[in-house]
Amino acid sequence: MPSLNITFTEEELEAVRAAAAAEGKSLKQYVHDLPLREKQRLQFVGYALTWGDEHRTEFDEAFPDEVPPVRHGGREAEAA
């Protein structure tokens, strides 16, 4: 199976060890899981942004006072 040899400073390695311990994982398992978790995080963010874009009009209609001023024809909202 392919493997990596990763170089860390002492401070970096200590931080990674602490993070692994906080999750109850071995250092090897923690470092293995990081890119997989990042891939899942990016996928989640992508889906969340798409969902937000798809529902923006519905939200703006339901909460007109929450629409940012820039969304009102590119002008700042007038002072009340």
Query: Is residue 1 very low, low, confident or very high in pLDDT (cuts 50, 70, 90)?
Result: confident
pLDDT of 31 > 90? The answer is yes
Q: Select from 21, 44, 46, 20 the least CA-distant residue to 33.
A: 20
* Tokens describing residue 61: 């209609």
Note the pLDDT of residue 80: 47
Instruction: Give the whole-angstrom CA distance, residue 20 versus residue 29.
Output: 8
* Tokens describing residue 62: 């339901």
* pLDDT tens profile 36-80: 999 999 999 999 999 999 999 999 889 988 877 655 555 555 544
Q: Nearest 10 degrees: CA dihedral of 52, 55, 56, 60?
A: -140
Taking the domains of the chain in order of start, what are their residue ranges? 10-71
15 vs 70, higher pLDDT = 15
The pTM of the full predicted model, rounded to 2 decimals, is 0.64
